[in-house]
Amino acid sequence: MSHTTTYIKQVQDKVQHLLKRYGLLQKENESLHKKVEALQKEKINFEARVEQLKQQYLIVKASASPLSGKEKKEMEQKINQYLQNIDKCISLLGK
């Protein structure tokens, strides 16, 4: 074979190798994106659970003993948030 033909063959081999590697990297990237998405969903679930536990803690604390000024303010803020969410839901249902 001539030098040019050998050079072209080497370039073709390298291109084929790069294309295979690119395909593998794309699959790995897709897999990692799926993992990230699953972890983000898991994080959201954990955050929701933490919020739920905080609310339960406030309820138990409120029912167990008199509230301090700060605790009373926190409870009022939570109640106001609930009322705002309920108002939003009612307004959306009315549309």
* CA dist list (Å): 79 to 2, 86, 90: 84, 10, 16
The Cα 84–Cα 71 span in angstroms is 20
* CA dist list (Å): 28 to 21, 33, 41, 85: 10, 9, 20, 42
Q: State pLDDT tens for residues 10-42.
A: 999 999 999 999 999 999 999 999 999 999 999
pLDDT of residue 54: 85
For residue 68, report the phi and psi dihedrals to the nearest 5 degrees.
Answer: -75, 175
In this predicted structure, the answer to whether residue 87 has a pLDDT above a threshold of 90 is no
In this predicted structure, the answer to whether residue 1 has a pLDDT above a threshold of 80 is no
